[in-house]
Chain A
Amino acid sequence: MAKTLAEKVWGAHVVRKGDGEGANAQPDLLFIDLHLVHEVTSPQAFEGLRLAGRPLRRPDLTIATEDHNTPTLDIDKPIADLTSRTQIQTLRNNCQEFGVRLHSLGDAEQGIVHVVGPQLGLTQPGMTVVCGDSHTSTHGAFGALAMGIGTSEVEHVMATQTLSLKPFKTMAINVEGTLRPGVSAKDIILAVIAKIGTGGGQGYVLEYRGSAIRALSMEARMTICNMSIEAGARAGLVAPDQTTYDYMFGRPHAPQGGAEWDAAVEYWNTLRSDDDATFDVAVDLDADTLEPFVTWGTNPGQGVSLSAKVPSPGDFGDENAKAAAERALQYMGLEAGTPMKDIRVDTVFLGSCTNSRMEDLRAAADIIRGRTKDPNIRMLVVPGSARVRLEAEAEGLDKVFKDFGAEWRFAGCSMCLGMNPDQLEPGERCASTSNRNFEGRQGKGGRTHLVSPVVAAATAVRGTLSSPSDLDPAPGSAAVRSDAA
């Protein structure tokens, strides 16, 4: 029978088929190939193992890093916040006790868990990947089935290296055409979420397909898969291709050359939806006409084209959506009908598991090089991992950001979530390359507009939400990077 990619990966991991059929079917027991761990959602799971006297079944399929609580300044000093410090120390103790490889603050491989896995070559096509973090969907960019789980499931994976999972439905997201300059992967996914809504993906695994997706780099595909959860999806993935293999090749934990690599590629080549496979739902998006996208409200589905205006609650037919829009406008301090580009921001945040990789930093640096920052803007640039930071410094990107007047920080989740010192003040407005514009997400009372890295950079220049096409030519702009992706 013809199968979709997600069904193939699922089928290859069934340890035990659930008893029963149809509505009464019990869930299948699936093997988990990689378990990523961080300090926030693991302490109670390790404690559960300890109380039950259970070992960690596969330390060799488990890896941990510190990211959510970690400061991005003064990392050579003890963490000032005592509860954060305790949580990090608890992870260190647990990893030592259970034999888990840990990349601590200061280590060259430390960073956001979803940046670290792919970077080390641990995320590979056809795998099942889980983490106690909803943005685990990021790893789907490799054609892996990657899911965020809660702490009870973290403990379950630790004890059994499996998960009981209920069957999913499949949704094809077809993106055909060619993106215009200044439009990027972030705009694709924000447009998808605005189209299907924050609950539109519920119960589904999304497969991103079409010529516009095939043309994207691995890092851009990660940006898209990362935000699958923002549409409510169980997971999101992209079939692997030569772009995937080129990214994998030579990474520390990728199959090494010769027979091992060939065997892997032979398998990976089977990882695509069959031509006659059927999806439960299909959604089409036109890449040719897509514009830079930005959110105006307090959930990621409340987005519009950057050239549009703040919508009015009356624009929404559904009563719940109308009420949500009213509340969102009030929280965001916005008036319906205001052009998005008239909105002045206080802070620009370039970072998070959505947009903190080399290409994101390069794209933003290309916009600001030779330009001047709006004097009222505070800009934070936070590489996704210590290695991204090192690579960026080797390319001189740190200097570009610093010359522009941005703060160049150490790696971590930073201002994506209000859990470490990088937070917004009440009422402070931020153009952010992160993934959630929920009330208070970036700090109590903070106001978030989700944007792409180039929109973030252009906004830092002009002080108002801006697209790169709104900028005057930079002095010496002929000196555009010759090797830009």
Chain B
Amino acid sequence: MEKFTTHTGIGVPLRQSNVDTDQIIPAVYLKRITRTGFEDALFAAWRKDPAFILNQEPFNAGSVLVAGPDFGTGSSREHAVWALKDYGFKTVLSSRFADIFRGNSGKQGLLAAELAQDDIELIWKELENAPGTAVTVDLVSKTVQCGNIVAPFEIDDYTRWRLLEGLDDIGLTLKHEEDITAFEATRPAFMPKTLPAKLS
């Protein structure tokens, strides 16, 4: 995973709550077996509307998505994170993220930064008044800067550390393989196994 320390890019105000992952990427695009190449799928239904924010300059070149509360609800599809990244987004700001989406973002190096809704509203106004305004998201100091606005954001320390270091989760866990093996030896015999199959 690529390290994330700080990012500056054009902010995109998405004034909408409950942006579920079916909107971020409709199911029809989940049939692919690759992990990349999902940029065309991002907000595919909404992008058919010429008035949609990503169809307007300079927002189409944005890399900081500023969304309403409850972003990423619904389906667990990690494709939502891949699509945001493939389009060029490095970070999403919201006052509340769905748990699975937040987890998936952390695994893929997309920073999900949680801000107070009041600060989101201020940033929306700034971005709408002066389209193209750059937003800086600094993971070291945990602050967002946009015009004259400076706002703190929340992220759990473990995810922050992994993002700053660009660490691979599986590699970290496999350092504790002995603990896993020891645990496996203590599991009760009545716990089910899928193999061999038993008759219905």
Contact = CB atoms under 8 A, between A and B. Distances in A.
B169 A164 contact: yes
A34 B192 contact: yes
B200 A120 contact: yes
B99 A31 contact: no
Contacts of A267: 188, 190
A27 B176 contact: no
Given A33-B191, A253-B192, A255-B190, A150 B170 contact: no
Interface in B54-100: 68-70, 73-79, 81, 96, 98-100
A81 B29 CA distance: 13
B149 to A, nearest CB: 19
A260 B16 contact: no
B76 A31 contact: no
B22 to A, nearest CB: 4
Interface residues of B, number: 63
A111 to B, nearest CB: 12
Interface stretch (B103-111, B129-137, B140-148): B103-111
B50 to A, nearest CB: 17
Tell me the dominant secondary structure on chain B's binding face. loop
Given A156-B169, A253-B198, A299-B18, A439 B23 contact: yes
A419 B28 contact: yes
Given A69-B31, A151-B78, A436 B22 contact: yes
Contacts of B107: 150, 152-153
Given A122-B192, A148-B100, A417 B157 contact: no
Nearest to B176: A16
B190 A260 contact: yes
A44 B34 CA distance: 6
A52 B170 contact: yes
Nearest to B98: A232
Contacts of A59: 194-195
B18 A198 contact: yes
Contacts of A86: 31, 33
Contacts of A439: 22-23, 45
A187 interface: no
B15 A323 contact: yes
B29 to A, nearest CB: 9
Interface string B12-23: 000111101011
Contacts of B177: 160
Given A62-B194, A63-B194, A253-B194, A152 B70 contact: no
Interface in B154-200: 156-158, 169-170, 172-174, 176-177, 179-180, 183-184, 187-195, 197-200
Given A26-B158, A101-B195, A153 B200 contact: no
A419 B194 contact: no
A260 B35 CA distance: 44
Contacts of A199: 69-70, 73, 96, 98
A255 B192 CA distance: 7
B30 interface: yes
Interface in A327-353: 327
A260 B191 CA distance: 10
A324 B77 contact: no
A104 interface: no
B71 to A, nearest CB: 10
A269 to B, nearest CB: 13
B176 A29 contact: yes
Given A148-B76, A232-B70, A299 B20 contact: yes
A299 B73 CA distance: 10
A441 B156 CA distance: 32
Residue among B33, B108, B173 with max Cβ neighbours from chain A (10 Å)? B33
Interface in A60-102: 60-63, 68-69, 81, 83-84, 86-87, 90, 101
B150 interface: no
A121 interface: yes
B184 A232 contact: no
Contacts of B174: 159-160
Contacts of A161: 180, 184
Given A43-B33, A152-B107, A31 B192 contact: no
Interface in A437-484: 438-441, 444
Given A47-B35, A419-B27, A15 B180 contact: yes
Nearest to A253: B192
B27 A166 contact: no
B162 to A, nearest CB: 10
B175 to A, nearest CB: 10
Contacts of A159: 170, 173-174
Interface string A247-277: 0000011110000110110010000000000
B26 A418 contact: yes
A109 interface: yes
A260 B189 contact: yes
Contact of B176 (A15, A151, A232): A15
A152 B68 contact: no
A41 B76 CA distance: 9
Nearest to B31: A83
A417 B192 CA distance: 31
A134 B100 contact: yes
Contacts of A29: 173, 176, 179-180
B193 A61 contact: yes
A134 B76 contact: yes
A40 interface: yes
A470 to B, nearest CB: 31
B20 A160 contact: no
Given A90-B33, A121-B192, 9 more contacts: A133-B75, A160-B173, A164-B173, A199-B69, A202-B96, A202-B98, A263-B188, A320-B69, A387-B200
15 contacts: A31-B184, A34-B192, A34-B194, A41-B76, A60-B195, A122-B192, A148-B76, A150-B77, A164-B169, A232-B73, A323-B15, A324-B17, A436-B20, A438-B23, A444-B45
Interface of B: 15-18, 20, 22-23, 26-28, 30-35, 45, 68-70, 73-79, 81, 96, 98-100, 103-104, 107-108, 156-158, 169-170, 172-174, 176-177, 179-180, 183-184, 187-195, 197-200
